[in-house]
Each structure stands twice: as structure tokens, then as C-alpha cells.
Amino acid sequence: MKIGDIEVLAVADGVGTEVAAEILTRPGVDDPWACHAHHLAADGTLALPLGGFLVRGGTRTVLVDAGVGPFDDGRYCGGALVDSLAAHGVTPGEVTDVVFTHLHFDHVGWASVEGRPVFPRATYRAHRADWQHFVTGAGATPEAVAKLTPVEGQLELFDADFTLAPGVDALHLPGHTPGTTAYVLSSGGRRALLLGDVAHSVVQFGERDWEVIWDVDPAAASAVRNRIADEAADTGDLLVAAHFPGMRFGRVLAGDGGRRFVAV
């Protein structure tokens, strides 16, 4: 995908599997997936692609999120991200920046392996609120500590929106996690947003009141998701998230009082 002069490519790592009705729900509705069964496997499970996005422009080679890593617990299985980068002609040593949309385990898996940074020349960047929540705070998770502590020597924390490179901007969108950050690509009159887990399924663009069990602040997460979707419907901006089918970009179309996501 080209956004003006910026190239952005999906970098697959693996896949996760969840029972859809257990992770995405609608308050007061017993079977919210009844009208969306075509998104599910026959057993009611939802496949969640895992990985990140490679952004290349100018002198920067940026990896947005780092998949689940060499990991397999029977539900989440990764390990392909470095090979996927190689298929795009990129080695770990050529990555200049690793930026995280948030610090859940399935987005930081290749930050380090066996206690060593996977991307030796890269600057790692994360929102300070997420670092404090997942790594140094009272609610720190063992997965985040193990994966992220080894990269502290290459780490820059941020606590405000910033420009990473020409046409690549960080946009803080708290709700899913305290530091959830989308990355906005703009060039040549085009615009695209890398959403992280602002949305886990494309269905959420049509269902305004669905909740995700992993949202730290469900009300804030819902407000952010709906604002982004409404704005994209007005502007034609492209949207993508690692958990979308095929990790494909798409647009939000509005009509007849509703919205829907259409892949491009």
C-alpha cells in the first residue's frame, strides 16, 4: 500500500483464536454475533491475525507493533514476523524505529527474544502511560516486563502526540489501554491510520455499542472508536489494524443510519 510517498506493508507473525462471544459483546444482548456469523468459524471462534506494519519513507524504516513473537499456547501462535520482514527485503538491523500502539503481549512479542533486543539499531518508542501501567506499575504483567525490560537502553517514552518522521504522526487515543496510540500516515493528499487495538474486528465499525473485554476503560474506548469511524466515513481515510482479516486496509462507509467497513 502506498500513501503518497510512504509505503506501508503488513508484516504477519501468526494468528490467535478466541471465542467471539466471549471477547466482543453487546450489553443486554445474548447473541450479538447472530447477524455477523459470516465473520466466524463454524464453532463460533474468531481468528485474530497477529503482526505489525512496516512503514518506509525517506531514511526511516519503521515497524509499528511487533506481533506475539516465537510463542504458542494453543490459542495464540506466532513466530513468522522476522521472516515476513525478510520477504519485504528488510533485516532486523535495518529497522530504525519500533513503535508500539500499546503494550499487550501480542504486540510486543518481538521486542526482545531471550533477553536481547531483536532490532539492535532501532529506537523503541512507547507511551509513558502504557509503560507505567504494564511494566513499572502495580499492574505490571510478566509478559510485558520480560519482553520490554531488555530494550530499555534503546527506549524513548513519550507522553504527547508527536511527529516521528515526515508524514508519520503519533495520536494518543486512550481507552483500550491508558497509552493506546494510533499512527497516522499522510502524504500526497492521502491519509491512513494504523489503529492498533482501537478495533479488534471490522464489525465494531458498524456496531456502535459493542465492548471488548480487554478495554481498560470501555466507555473511553467506545467513544474513541466511534469518533475515528465517523471521521473516516466523512474523510475517506483508510483504516487498518493487525487483527483485521488479512491485515487489510479499508474504508468506513456510512448510509441508511449505519456504518460498514469495506476492505480495499
DSSP per residue, 45-78: EEEEEEEEEEEEETTEEEEE---S-S-BSSSEE-
Whole-angstrom distance, CA of residue 185 vs CA of residue 8: 9
Whole-angstrom distance, CA of residue 106 vs CA of residue 76: 8
Helix, strand, or coil (residue 108): coil
Q: Are 40 and 81 in contact (CB under 8 A)?
A: no
Q: Is it the case that residue 100 has pLDDT exceeding 90?
A: yes
Burial of 213 (0-12, 13-18, 19+ CB in 10 A): exposed
**CB neighbourhood size of 248 (10 A):** 16
pLDDT per position as a tens digit, 127-166: 999 999 999 998 899 999 999 999 999 999 999 999 999 9
pLDDT at 99: 98
pLDDT at 30: 80
Rounded to an integer, the average pLDDT of 75-103 is 98
What structural domains and CATH numbers belong to the chain?
2-263 (3.60.15.10)
Please give the share of the chain, as a percent, with pLDDT higher than 70.
100
Q: What pTM does this model have? A: 0.96
Q: Is it the case that residue 231 has pLDDT exceeding 90?
A: yes
Confidence of residue 31 (pLDDT cuts 50, 70, 90): confident
Written as nine digits, the cell of 25 is 459483546
Confidence of residue 196 (pLDDT cuts 50, 70, 90): very high
Q: Are 60 and 165 in contact (CB under 8 A)?
A: yes
Whole-angstrom distance, CA of residue 3 vs CA of residue 186: 7
Whole-angstrom distance, CA of residue 20 vs CA of residue 203: 11
- Distance between the two ends of the chain, CA-based, in angstroms? 10
pLDDT at 28: 80
